[in-house]
Amino acid sequence: MSFFKNKQVYFFFILLAAIGIGLQIVIYKIAIFGLLLQWMVEKDYKKKLNELKSNHYAVGLMIFYMLYAISFFWSENKGVAIIDIILKTPILFLPLIIVSKPNSLSLKQINYIFASFIFSVLALNFYCLVDSFLTYLNTHNLNEFYYHKLTVNTHTSAQSMFTCFSIVLSVWLLKNRFISNWLSYLVVFVQMIFVLMLSSRMQILIMATIIPSYFIFYYSKNLILGAFYTALIFFLAYLFISLPSSSLNHRYKKTISGTSDPREIIWSSGLDVVKQNWLFGVGSGDAKDLLVDQFSNVVLDESNLNQTVKSNKYKQAFILKYNFHNQYLQTFAAIGIFGLMLLCYLLFSPVLFFIRNKDYLCVLFLFIISVSFLTESMLERQAGVSFFAFFYSLLIRPVIQNTPS
């Protein structure tokens, strides 16, 4: 067991987790199990728990998990509630393991962790591209290279979110002189193309916000070059939207016309679910079931049959059994107002602290997460849970008690 007490073993498991999350393969679960085992073997629990208690964001994250676990008792669908509790276990274990050992990683090791995630996401994107190309050889349909047809076993929005964050990390590693200029530019350019091809509208909006800001900040002494990169990004985005055969072009037109996206009716139905128990929530096991029941009630209501577009959206939502497509609303419905307030505290409260300390990497991570939560229930899938719990724990590690009110 002395093997597990080695600091290099801790670094190895963290590195393995970053690679597994980036590739969305099972090794990240093995890595978390290895980290938990090492945490227990090392003992020295009092010191580690004191470190954990001094970081109230980590404690808040663990309480957030506990609220979901407690909601099991008033969920009628116990099976779904148990699955949800298991799904969200990284939210409990990763802050416990990582934040309780704040000095176990050097800056160089953190750079390696970030680089591993970047190239894992890049590898995943290229794997998806090859898979789409092989499909294209049979179908000769260019849409194989866009949106959900480009992904393999990963939700489009989650993969786009990973890709956006890998762009931020690439510039951060360049700033720290961990990777060369040309490699950073190449990664940013390639990943930017992948974000456009994945066609997640919110992630494109995020990319269009963060990349120009980052380039202008990085090239503050050369605003012309910063402006050039900004213009290049918007030109490429416009080019992709304008391509007639592009899935993004099709989705963009539907968004403008308002004929396809069912989120409006999902959110309206979600608020009806919230009203059933806004204080403590309906329980993690019942939230989605009750939402689907709302869709069903509208579909079965004959008075809605004449509202063709709207009724079709409800039918689509009912047949596909959509979740809330908004993490804030999903949390509100599942664990009530206290869960929603805690989630908002975890996402927005650290921002001022990080700005004061000029830690723009953390600010951008929280920006990407908080905006992504507006249109997707990211914490209802393994990809979103593992990404959020891992990087949140890693980035808020140094945050001690002197945080802003």
Residue 195 in this model has a pLDDT that exceeds 50: yes
pLDDT recorded at residue 401: 39
In a domain, 50, yes or no: no
Are 90 and 113 in the same domain?
no
More confident residue, 61 or 25: 61
Q: Which residue among 214, 244, 261 closes a domain? A: 261
Concatenating the DSSP letter of every residue in 46-75 gives: HHHHHHHHT-HHHHHHHHHHHHHHHGGGG-
Are 236 and 277 in the same domain?
no
Residue 99 in this model has a pLDDT that exceeds 60: yes
Are 74 and 181 in the same domain?
no
Q: Which residue among 261, 289, 307 closes a domain? A: 261
Are 167 and 248 in the same domain?
yes
Model confidence at 160, pLDDT cuts 50, 70, 90, reads very high
Residues 210-214 have a mean pLDDT of 70
Tell me the pLDDT tens digit for each residue of 283-318. Answer: 999 999 999 999 888 777 655 555 555 667 777 788
Question: Total domain count for the chain?
Answer: 3
pLDDT recorded at residue 165: 95
In a domain, 70, yes or no: yes
More confident residue, 154 or 394: 394
Residue 262 in this model has a pLDDT that exceeds 90: no
pLDDT recorded at residue 256: 46
Are 9 and 85 in the same domain?
no
Are 190 and 218 in the same domain?
yes
Model confidence at 175, pLDDT cuts 50, 70, 90, reads confident
Model confidence at 400, pLDDT cuts 50, 70, 90, reads very low
In a domain, 49, yes or no: no
Are 180 and 160 in the same domain?
yes
In a domain, 47, yes or no: no
Residue 255 in this model has a pLDDT that exceeds 60: no
Are 289 and 400 in the same domain?
yes
pLDDT recorded at residue 235: 75
pLDDT recorded at residue 1: 56
Are 117 and 200 in the same domain?
yes
Could you tell me if 295 and 345 are in contact, meaning their C-beta atoms sit under 8 angstroms apart?
no
Both tokens of 141, joined, read 């349909």
Are 278 and 403 in the same domain?
yes
Lowest-pLDDT range of 205-209, 289-293, 361-365: 205-209
Model confidence at 382, pLDDT cuts 50, 70, 90, reads very high
Range of the domain at 15: 1-42
How far apart CA 65 and CA 328 sit, in angstroms, is 15
Tell me the pLDDT tens digit for each residue of 240-254. Answer: 666 655 555 665 555
In a domain, 316, yes or no: yes
Maximum average pLDDT range among 239-243, 351-355, 386-390, 395-399: 386-390
Residues 70-77 have a mean pLDDT of 96
In a domain, 48, yes or no: no
Q: Which residues contact 45 (CB under 8 A, 6 or more apart)?
A: none
Both tokens of 37, joined, read 């085992």
How far apart CA 343 and CA 331 sit, in angstroms, is 8
Are 229 and 270 in the same domain?
no
In a domain, 160, yes or no: yes
In a domain, 268, yes or no: yes
Residues 190-200 have a mean pLDDT of 87
Residues 114-134 have a mean pLDDT of 95
Are 187 and 129 in the same domain?
yes
Amino acid at site 103: N
Q: How far is CA 271 from CA 72, 107, 152, 285, 305, in A?
A: 21, 44, 32, 17, 22
Residue 132 in this model has a pLDDT that exceeds 70: yes
pLDDT recorded at residue 283: 96
